Structure 1
Amino acid sequence: MDSAFLKCFPNASSLTTGGNLLRSKYSTKNIYFTNSYASKVSEHRRKTQQYNFWRVEQPTLNHHYKCIEGGSTNKECNRKYVVKGIPGPSSNFEPHAFDPKNIFDSVKYFLITFYKFSIPHASFTRILSTISASFLVVEKLSDISPLFFIGLLQAMIPFSFVEIYVNSLNQLFDIEIDKINKPYLPLASGEISFTTGIIVVASCLTLSIYFGWIIGSWPLIWGILICLFLWTAYSINVPLLRWKKHPLLAAMCMFVTWGFIFPTSIFFHMQTFVFKKPTIFPRSLIFNMVFVSIFFVGMALCKDIPDIEGDKAFGIYSLPARIGPKRVFWISVSLFETAFGVALLMGATSSSSLWIKIVTGLGHSVLASILWYKAKSVDLRCNASIASFYLFIWKLLSVEYFFIPLIR
């Protein structure tokens, strides 16, 4: 071990472990022999090596070696080394200079981690749903004006903060569960500290309310407040709340916010606040609410299937944990197919032009077929396969948001 330790030092190459050390060119300078102090120096040597370990790594040290040799010269020489690092004058050591590249890498790492923390597939779908609900108020091409895009931006900003708040708050209260179910999430993996998570949650909560208030749109304000309340009740672990522990309440949070609160608040913000038109419930808005509500009941059930192990460990008995993942999976698939069936029916009976009926009919038929094909290939014994299917469902929903404004 000592000889291996000496290999760390550049000036130790002239030392040998056998033969006569008197032949070394450094023997009269740095190497001294003694027979009587071996036992006393051994403990001192161990402490000295430990104390000087970090110092010997400096580039400007003068190294001095003391060899303690015991026994006869005719026998194998038992040598022990004490290595002392004595700092000398430095000519090449400088403090670390300002490095813009390191700052750029740090910012890049933070943005990537924050991107994962915000659950990107949900945030991206939220943006598409905002755009889709906003287009429901468009009756003619002249409605797509700068005023329309200003109103769209007014809706998109606060609800984006709401979405990040919802996802971040859920991770804060599910750290231990996510270490079992989703160890790749930033909080569970330690990429983001708990304190940083609290800062992100508090900031997004404040910004969502602040932007809603300064915009002054009451449909937006009420939509933001109701969504914040429902998803806080879903995640926060206090008496009478933590609704995710109850399958019915958990499903309600998803389909009420995505299917009713969110599209209606966006639509009435654009209809009454931006365009100053009277309040109406068009057929397209009703279709949006019905389709998304059915779809998100299936999403709520499917979401819990790969999380059974962690949920059970912390006393959360979701529907898959109660009746089994296979039954819940096919119930979810049936709900998804029902939603696409409603879309086919609404598209076929809409007042849209023939080519729009053909596009929406073929589009929903293709989506329903792909969904069924994908569902049959899912391995319910593999959580990764189920999680992949769940992400695939989000992609189908994203595509659907392009079809919804076409059905009138």
Structure 2
Amino acid sequence: MAFGLLGSSFPTTPTTTGSYAKRGLWCNNRNLTKEYSIRRSLQYNSKLHYKGIEGGSSTSDTFEKKYLINASSGESYESELKSHDELKGTLESIRNALNSFIKFTRLYAFVGVTLGALSSSLLAVDTFSDISPVLFLKGFLQYMIPVLCMHQYVMGANQLADVEIDKINKPYLPLASGDYSYTRGVIIVGLCLLSSIGLTWMVGSKPLLWTNLITAVLTSAYAFNLPLLRWKRSTILTVISSTITLLTTFNLGAFLHMKTFVLKQAAVFPRSLLLGCLVMGCFYSVISVSKDLADVEGDKALGLKTLAIRLGVKKVFWLCISLIQMAYGVAITLGALSPFLWSKIFTVLAHAIMVFVVWNHASSVDLSSKDSLQAFHMFVFKLVYVENILVLFVR
């Protein structure tokens, strides 16, 4: 009885329709709340996404920034490559222009003129107490600048007159190769001639004036195909004109300019200058003849009768070697007669060594090779360079 009353006092599990309805309503509300939270979360994320696009803080924007930076870097790299190519092209143009100008001026002859004039100018100075370095340098430049302008006239005039020959013999020269137009060559040569005459007139040195006048007249007579001119066709006239021109420009003109115009002294010719003129005269004759050894083909094509064509390359080559050895024989003889022991020993020994050098080089020349013959012509210029130094020790 008691247990029955106790059990009846607890409520039983609800089974009515109202209880099920309440439980369903609670579940629906919970589902709605969850759906609402999801929607809010999506809206929030969406706002963050659009804010990122507008403000530049999203992952997408970071990628876009990286892309823009890379694109900008690529454009900068291309710009640098373009600038580098332009600079390289400019430098290449400058290099080609300089190379053509060096070929047109024949730089090796420039070196010969400078060394010869410097050596002869030093021979004009008896003692260095007679002149200051500044005055010597000024006088030397007063001579050299007009002479170098005239030298360019000499080189240019020969190339203008021999364009057709050079197309066969020396196709690398600017006029023959087409790097310089004929008009351009005429302008350069004309300006050099006028500059030389004008500068000579401004300096006022008579030895310089005579040097450049003799050079201009003999060069024009040798090169240009005018009535009674074009001395290039005659071997004798070629040797005479070339030797006088080189002796005047390299030696006598520079010596007299320094002696009479700069130092204001009487023209007294020392033993060393006389030896220099004798030896150099032989070298200059060899230069005027040996330059045709490698040009036989082109000279024949245009009807020139040079000594190399008349006698043959071999005979003319050994004639050149004989003239050089004869010049060294004269130097050894005059050196042995020097009253100064040191000058006697040095002059004889130095020129004896040069005799051996020339014979050794002569045996290595291939007379059938145009390049080898041209190299021999350049070798003679090197002998002139050396002799300009040796003559300073002759007393």
Give the structure-1-normalised TM-score: 0.73
> How far apart are residue 122 of structure 1 and its match?
1.1
User: Could you tell me how far apart the structure 1 residues matched to 2:292 and 2:195 are?
Assistant: 30
Instruction: Tell me which residue corresponds to 2:227.
Output: 239
Instruction: Tell me which residue corresponds to 1:155.
Output: 143
User: Could you tell me how far apart the structure 2 residues matched to 1:255 and 1:372 are?
Assistant: 24
User: Could you tell me how far apart the structure 2 residues matched to 1:137 and 1:284 are?
Assistant: 10
Give the structure-2-normalised TM-score: 0.76
Classify the secondary structure of the residue corresponding to 2:229.
Answer: coil
Within-5 A mapping of 1:208-223 = 208-223=196-211
> How far apart are residue 373 of structure 1 and its match?
0.9
User: Could you tell me how far apart the structure 2 residues matched to 1:101 and 1:143 are?
Assistant: 52
The amino acid that maps onto 2:308 is P
User: Could you tell me how far apart the structure 2 residues matched to 1:197 and 1:207 are?
Assistant: 15
Instruction: Tell me which residue corresponds to 1:11.
Output: none
2:189 maps to 1:189: no
> How far apart are residue 405 of structure 1 and its match?
2.1
| Aligned partner (choices 348, 352, 355) of residue 368 of structure 1 | 355
Query: Is the 2:206–2:257 contact (alpha carbons within 8 Å) kept by the matching residues of 1?
Result: yes
> How far apart are residue 101 of structure 1 and its match?
5.8
Instruction: Tell me which residue corresponds to 2:102.
Output: 115
> How far apart are residue 163 of structure 1 and its match?
1.2
The amino acid that maps onto 1:292 is M
> How far apart are residue 179 of structure 1 and its match?
0.9
User: Could you tell me how far apart the structure 2 residues matched to 1:141 and 1:191 are?
Assistant: 47
Instruction: Tell me which residue corresponds to 1:129.
Output: 116
Instruction: Tell me which residue corresponds to 1:403.
Output: 390
2:212 maps to 1:224: yes
> How far apart are residue 358 of structure 1 and its match?
2.3
Task: Write 1 or 2 for the structure with the bigger share of strand.
Answer: 1
Instruction: Tell me which residue corresponds to 2:305.
Output: 317
Deviations 1:322-368 (A, max 9, x none): 111111111111001111111111222224x4333322222211111
The amino acid that maps onto 2:194 is T
The amino acid that maps onto 1:305 is L
User: Could you tell me how far apart the structure 1 residues matched to 2:170 and 2:145 are?
Assistant: 28
The amino acid that maps onto 1:274 is V
> How far apart are residue 275 of structure 1 and its match?
0.4
Classify the secondary structure of the residue corresponding to 1:277.
Answer: coil
Query: Is the 2:100–2:173 contact (alpha carbons within 8 Å) kept by the matching residues of 1?
Result: no
Deviations 1:130-176 (A, max 9, x none): 10110111211324521111111111111111111101110111111
Structure 1 residues 254 and 148, CA, compared in 2 at 3 Å: closer, same or farther?
same
2:319 maps to 1:354: no
User: Could you tell me how far apart the structure 1 residues matched to 2:88 and 2:187 are?
Assistant: 26
Higher relative contact order (CA 8 A, sep 6+): 2
> How far apart are residue 103 of structure 1 and its match?
4.4
Instruction: Tell me which residue corresponds to 2:289.
Output: 301
User: Could you tell me how far apart the structure 1 residues matched to 2:209 and 2:89 are?
Assistant: 41
Classify the secondary structure of the residue corresponding to 1:317.
Answer: coil
User: Could you tell me how far apart the structure 1 residues matched to 2:292 and 2:209 are?
Assistant: 31
User: Could you tell me how far apart the structure 2 residues matched to 1:283 and 1:360 are?
Assistant: 13
Show structure 1 runs of 5+ residues with no match.
1-91
Between 1:258-267 and 1:222-231, the stretch displaced more is 258-267
The amino acid that maps onto 1:211 is L
Query: Is the 1:223–1:262 contact (alpha carbons within 8 Å) kept by the matching residues of 2?
Result: no
Classify the secondary structure of the residue corresponding to 2:225.
Answer: coil
Query: Is the 2:346–2:393 contact (alpha carbons within 8 Å) kept by the matching residues of 1?
Result: no
The amino acid that maps onto 1:151 is G
> How far apart are residue 229 of structure 1 and its match?
0.6
Count of residue correspondences? 314
| Aligned partner (choices 332, 335, 338) of residue 344 of structure 1 | 332
Show structure 2 runs of 5+ residues with no match.
1-77
Structure 1 residues 361 and 144, CA, compared in 2 at 3 Å: closer, same or farther?
farther
Q: What is the aligned-residue identity percentage?
A: 43
Larger Rg: 2
Within-5 A mapping of 1:64-143 = 102-143=89-130
Task: Write 1 or 2 for the structure with the bigger share of helix.
Answer: 2
User: Could you tell me how far apart the structure 1 residues matched to 2:345 and 2:195 are?
Assistant: 43
Instruction: Tell me which residue corresponds to 2:243.
Output: 255
Between 1:98-107 and 1:261-270, the stretch displaced more is 98-107
The amino acid that maps onto 2:193 is L
Structure 1 residues 213 and 389, CA, compared in 2 at 3 Å: closer, same or farther?
same
User: Could you tell me how far apart the structure 1 residues matched to 2:363 and 2:136 are?
Assistant: 43
Instruction: Tell me which residue corresponds to 2:7.
Output: none
Query: Is the 1:260–1:289 contact (alpha carbons within 8 Å) kept by the matching residues of 2?
Result: no
Instruction: Tell me which residue corresponds to 1:198.
Output: 186
Instruction: Tell me which residue corresponds to 2:46.
Output: none
The amino acid that maps onto 1:265 is G
Classify the secondary structure of the residue corresponding to 2:172.
Answer: coil
> How far apart are residue 97 of structure 1 and its match?
8.8
Classify the secondary structure of the residue corresponding to 1:393.
Answer: helix
> How far apart are residue 116 of structure 1 and its match?
1.1
Classify the secondary structure of the residue corresponding to 1:381.
Answer: coil
